Structure 1
Amino acid sequence: MKQYQKMWQEENAKPDKCQQKLDEYHRAAEALRKDMKELGELADEVRKASGRKTVNS
Structure 2
Amino acid sequence: MAVPKRRLSRSNTRKRRSQWKAKAPALQVCPCPRKETIRPHHLCTHCGQYQGRQVLPEA
Q: Judging by fraction of residues, say which structure has more strand.
A: 2
Same fold flag (TM > 0.5): no
TM-score (norm 2): 0.30
TM-score (norm 1): 0.30
Which structure has the higher relative contact order (CA within 8 Å, separation 6+)?
Answer: 1
